[in-house]
């Protein structure tokens, strides 16, 4: 991805969050602008998501799909557009603190592991780490938004969660799945 495209995506990301009522200053200060801009969404080359800017691209693609899914249903479930934007753009934000560039040349060249797990004090799933980031940045969530932030941490065999999922969580999950497929497909078919 070119630097100008990355900057364009970053500005759109920040603007969308601000329009949804999110104070982005603390978020940028906590994560760091460069880290936020350059974060991958995967560890290894084969994922199609191990490149600088992949996280922002993935979240913005997910937002586009989430809005389309709401439109398809004529917003039958009355999903608040600001909640949809906030959760869709922030439920993966913890990944900006989970991955870092791999300095092991053998891992990079032989295994395609371009990134590695960052040394964090605790081992949190991506949704949990994202919630931690929001807590540290003073970004408040409704109960429904909180659940949607953790939706990707839940496994498909968690029948209780899938039977009692909120419409916001379902839209976020479906949009996320679609965006992973699209970004991965585009990277692999360049």
Give me the domain span that covers residue 117: 3-181
On whether the CB atoms of residues 56 and 6 are closer than 8 A, the answer is: yes
Closest C-alpha to 14, from 178, 29, 2: 29
Per-residue model confidence (pLDDT) at position 90: 96
Residue 84 within any structural domain of the chain: yes
Number of domains in the chain: 1
Query: Which CATH number belongs to the domain containing residue 21 in this structure?
Result: 1.10.3210
Helix 81-90 vs helix 167-188: crossing angle, to nearest 10 = 50
DSSP 8-class letter at 99 = E
Residues 6 or more apart whose Cβ sits within 8 Å of residue 125: 150, 153
DSSP 8-class letter at 100 = E
Residue 188 within any structural domain of the chain: no
Per-residue model confidence (pLDDT) at position 158: 62
Residue 187 within any structural domain of the chain: no
pTM of the prediction?
0.89
Residue 116 within any structural domain of the chain: yes
| Residue 190 reports pLDDT greater than 80 | no
pLDDT digits (tens, 9 = 90+) for 124-156: 888 889 999 999 999 999 999 998 988 766 556
């Amino acid at each position: 991805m070119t630097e100008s495209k990355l900057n364009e995506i970053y500005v759109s990301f920040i603007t969308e969050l601000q329009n949804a009522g999110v104070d982005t200053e603390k978020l940028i200060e906590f994560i760091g602008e460069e880290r936020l801009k350059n974060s991958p969404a995967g560890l290894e080359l084969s994922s199609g998501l191990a490149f600088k800017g992949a996280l922002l691209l993935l979240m913005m693609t997910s937002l586009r799909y989430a809005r389309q899914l709401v439109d398809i249903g004529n917003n039958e479930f009355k999903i608040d557009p600001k909640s949809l934007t906030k959760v869709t753009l922030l439920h993966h934000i913890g990944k900006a603190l989970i991955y870092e560039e791999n300095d092991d040349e053998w891992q990079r060249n032989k295994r395609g592991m371009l990134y590695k797990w960052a040394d964090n004090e605790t081992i949190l799933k991506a949704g949990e780490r994202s919630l931690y980031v929001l807590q540290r940045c003073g970004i408040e969530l409704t109960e429904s938004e909180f659940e949607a932030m953790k939706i990707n941490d839940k496994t498909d065999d968690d029948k209780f969660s899938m039977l009692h999922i909120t419409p916001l969580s379902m839209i976020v999950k479906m949009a996320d799945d679609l965006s992973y497929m699209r970004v991965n497909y585009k990277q692999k078919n360049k």
